[in-house]
A and B are shown apart, each in its own frame.
Chain A
Amino acid sequence: SQQGEEDPQALSIQEGENATMNCSYKTSINNLQWYRQNSGRGLVHLILIRSNEREKHSGRLRVTLDTSKKSSSLLITASRAADTASYFCATGFGGSNYKLTFGKGTLLTVNP
């Protein structure tokens, strides 16, 4: 079954504004990851946060993880038109059979 669910499904903002996307999941995880996908392309990894971490930063990206609520958020600050893409959260679980389960994604449109 689908593990991660992003919210909102679509988000449209103006350049310079901040964009926040949320992800909820259902079971225990080893880590949670965020990916970006430009239309018709493969996914690109943005950031990984482990289950024992609460917050992580990378450039204009900030990710939080609340394991008690089984939720995560991705904040993109000072958005640019080039940030327009779909953003997916993926939850990782397992040992030798480790794999990711992806949500359906949030389509972010940044208007110039």
Chain B
Amino acid sequence: SQTIHQWPATLVQPVGSPLSLECTVEGTSNPNLYWYRQAAGRGLQLLFYSVGIGQISSEVPQNLSASRPQDRQFILSSKKLLLSDSGFYLCAWSVQRTFQHFGSGTRLTVV
């Protein structure tokens, strides 16, 4: 069966520090991968999506970047965090034009 792992669950980072959030998928090949951010009480904002290794599409200009070094690995990074980067980050995968499977999320607080 397919599973998605996202870590860490919570993270408190100082302003100006780097960030690396990792997401891995098991049990499927060549999935579409997505990073979302959710502000408190809000919907999901799509940050990045990837349809294959090394293929990254950015939806919103910002202080973040994404990489897909392996088929089932998706990494969200920042060189220097801003206070506005705080939020709930969700990774998801899908195959073809179907529904998405979400990870359990990372609560990032930048202080």
* B34 (CB) vs chain A CBs: closest residue: A99
State whether A48 and B99 are in contact (beta carbons under 8 Å apart), knowing that A88-B43, A104-B42 are contacts in the complex: yes
Residues facing B in A1-47 (CB within 8 A) are 2, 4, 30-31, 33, 35, 40-45
A38 vs B77: C-alpha distance when bound (angstroms): 26
Number of interface residues of A (CB under 8 A): 26
Residues of chain B lying within 8 A (CB to CB) of residue A98? 32, 96-97
Interface of chain B, helix or strand or loop or mixed?
A: strand
B75 at the interface (CB under 8 A from A): no
* B57 with A97: CB separation less than 8 A: yes
B17 at the interface (CB under 8 A from A): no
Residues of chain B lying within 8 A (CB to CB) of residue A99? 34, 46, 49
A100 vs B92: C-alpha distance when bound (angstroms): 11
* A48 with B102: CB separation less than 8 A: no
27 intermolecular pairs with C-beta atoms under 8 Å apart: A2-B43, A4-B43, A33-B99, A40-B105, A40-B107, A41-B105, A42-B6, A42-B90, A42-B92, A42-B102, A42-B103, A42-B104, A43-B92, A43-B100, A45-B99, A48-B98, A48-B99, A94-B97, A97-B49, A97-B57, A98-B96, A99-B34, A101-B46, A103-B43, A104-B41, A104-B42, A104-B43
Binding site for A on B (CB under 8 A): 6, 32, 34, 36, 41-44, 46, 49, 51, 57, 88, 90, 92, 96-105, 107
